[in-house]
Amino acid sequence: MGPLAFMSFLSVLLWPALQGPSVGAAQVSGGLLTPSSTRVAILPVVNESGEKREKTALEQCQYVTDALQRQFRDRGFQIVEPQVVAAAMTKLEADMSDEEQRKRARMIEIGREAGADLVVFVVIMDKGKDIQGMVASIKVWLLDAKTNQPYLSAKVFEGLSRAQTAFNMPKMKRALPLAVDRALKDFMKPYKIVK
């Protein structure tokens, strides 16, 4: 290992300690985060539902992204700007559509590069119908980029949109946010809605 590689390796190990109180600032007693000082990186949603229409597949990704942003923003968490996340992914040559890169360490690396405390990544798994309506399945990662600990790691959740939806809303527009709400329910329980 050359001197430059060693210094780079050393800086990765020491960086959290050099950050000082910002690492601790996101934590309070009882292991809860302080939302106002906790930055959340939402990685681009990947759609593996088999949706054939590209426009619809992209809309479904946006439904999930919007639901994630709403859940965190409503409780006062700070969302890392999408362009900052995109720049971090570009710098690290990260492609979350590549299943081989869907490792917790890789997601945490992206989050750290984006200056985030938490990292969220979602894959839309599939969609289907049952007798009650449209079912959407998502796989969710919610990781602490400072401690390397997972809150959720590749856990699957479902959302069900009843056959009748208000105002002719696409059923997936309802089912996907319901799946996100279900995924984050336990994590969000101690945090009150502030907005």
Burial label, 115 (beta-carbon count in 10 A; 0-12, 13-18, 19+): middle
CATH number at residue 58: 3.40.50.10610
**How large is the average pLDDT for residues 181-187?**
97
Which H/E stretch holds residue 73? Answer: helix 54-73
Q: How far apart are CA 114 and CA 85, in angstroms?
A: 5
pLDDT recorded at residue 10: 35
pLDDT recorded at residue 128: 66
Report field, pTM of the whole predicted structure over 0.85: no
Tallying the residues shown for the chain, one arrives at 195
- Examine residue 32 and state whether it is found in any structural domain, yes or no: no
For 73, residues 6+ apart whose C-beta sits below 8 A from its C-beta are: 79, 195
Please say if the pLDDT value at position 50 is more than 80. yes
CA distances from 186 to 26, 142, 151, 192 (A): 19, 12, 10, 12
Q: Residues 99-129: pLDDT tens digits?
A: 999 999 999 999 999 999 999 999 999 766 6
Band the pLDDT of 162: cuts 50, 70, 90.
confident
- Examine residue 45 and state whether it is found in any structural domain, yes or no: yes
- Examine residue 75 and state whether it is found in any structural domain, yes or no: yes
Number of domains in the chain: 1
Please say if the pLDDT value at position 21 is more than 80. no
- Examine residue 24 and state whether it is found in any structural domain, yes or no: no
Band the pLDDT of 7: cuts 50, 70, 90.
very low
- Examine residue 10 and state whether it is found in any structural domain, yes or no: no
- Examine residue 15 and state whether it is found in any structural domain, yes or no: no
Nearest to 88 by CA among 149, 138, 39: 39
pLDDT recorded at residue 11: 39
Average pLDDT, the chain: 84
- Examine residue 9 and state whether it is found in any structural domain, yes or no: no
Q: Which residues span the domain enclosing 67? A: 38-188
Supply 171's token pair. Answer: 């059923």
- Examine residue 6 and state whether it is found in any structural domain, yes or no: no
